[in-house]
Amino acid sequence: MRAAVLVDVGRIEVHDVPVVPPGAGDVLLRPIAVGLCGTDFHIFAGHSNYNTNTRGEPVPLQESPQILGHEIVAVVEECGRDVRDLRPGLPVVVDQGLNCMSAGTSPCEYCSTGDSHQCANYREHGITGLPGGLAEFLTVPAINTIRVSSETARERAALTEPLGCIVHSSDLVQRANARYRLDSATGANRVQSVLVSGAGPAGLLFIQYLRRALEWDGRILVSEPNPVKRALATACGAEALDPSVDVTEAVLAATSGRRVEYLIDASGAGALFRQIPGILRKQGTILLYGHGHAGVDLSVLNNVQFLEPTLVSPVGASGGFLADGRPATYHRALELIESGTIDVAPIVTHRYTSLDQVGSAFAGAHKQPEYVKGVVEL
């Protein structure tokens, strides 16, 4: 089969690679839509490599090339002999993370508490070295798939995984023992203002999730340098701030000096940590969703720690399992998309129609001012 293979930092080539035959509990899938994630771009650029050896050291791409793509919609091509609830031709979304349920083993301490992305034996298609969806075929455990309604557009379904990450992150914040809460019944402890740093796909999904899934009616501010993304954030129900102006002053003005009780880092911008003491209320909550945070010295945390914030640092779309063993959070996210509660269509601004276009998509298209989210449709 053909696959877009990351053979070195900054270089993707289309190669012929073997098809992995499905085992008894597996399905062979034909990817039809794969979302391009910021994590993919970080790996491509050499900023991250999550394929590690037993010592936790990154395995060089020259030694182990990777097939990226973990936001996957696919059609079932072939079912293993023990798979009874799927058949060829059905569209599905994929939980790319392999855990105890995927392996059919007794749950480890993490899987038993619904924290499957921290599974003791966790591996991930498209991220930790296992082949991802930017290929003609992909083999995964059948239990890692969720059926998609035939009426759901493939590019919309491709955002199930990122929306699942937002759902999981928000669940962890609600579970935290924080001073200020979105759902607090008392005014003194209720979050009055939220600041979302970054209006890329994650930031836009956070805004919609707050407004349309949680039905939270407080003030949502968003800091975003790109005017296209600021316009999308406004349409989602936020008040957009241009960080080229003084964000701290803008937040103080918008909150009458109170500052925000809840800060969502959806950008991974290191400079944000310099601003936190001026924008976050004492004992507020910080959701560290973005990755990267380059360009700052760790000493910036001194004044952040002085605030005694609640720090929540989620990864992936954990959240337990359905009765049939399938991932509950992916099911919830797909329902939000299929019902129209979360409108992901405006987020997808770029579409690519073949594996041959993947290299150019990674080479710089995502840096264009009008780019928000790309999907490869195969």
- In this prediction, residue 91 carries a pLDDT of 97
pTM: 0.96
CA distance 346 to 201: 10
End-to-end CA distance of the chain: 13
The enclosing H or E element of 212 equals none
| pLDDT band (50, 70, 90) for residue 285 | very high
Cβ atoms of 148 and 337 within 8 Å: the answer is: no
Task: Sketch out the chain's domains with CATH numbers.
Answer: 2-158+348-377 (3.90.180.10), 166-312 (3.40.50.720)
Gap between the Cα atoms of 262 and 119, Å rounded = 29
Express each pLDDT in 34-85 by its tens digit. Answer: 999 999 999 999 988 999 998 999 999 999 999 999 999 999 999 999 999 9
Amino acid 253: pLDDT = 96
CB-based contact 59:49 (threshold 8 Å): yes
The Cβ of residue 354 has, within 10 Å, a number of other Cβ atoms equal to: 12
Condensed to tens digits (0 to 9), the pLDDT of residues 108-165 reads: 999 999 999 999 999 999 999 999 999 999 999 999 999 998 788 899 999 999 999 9
Residues 6+ apart with CB under 8 A from 11: 359
CA nearest neighbour of 240 among 252, 226, 253: 226
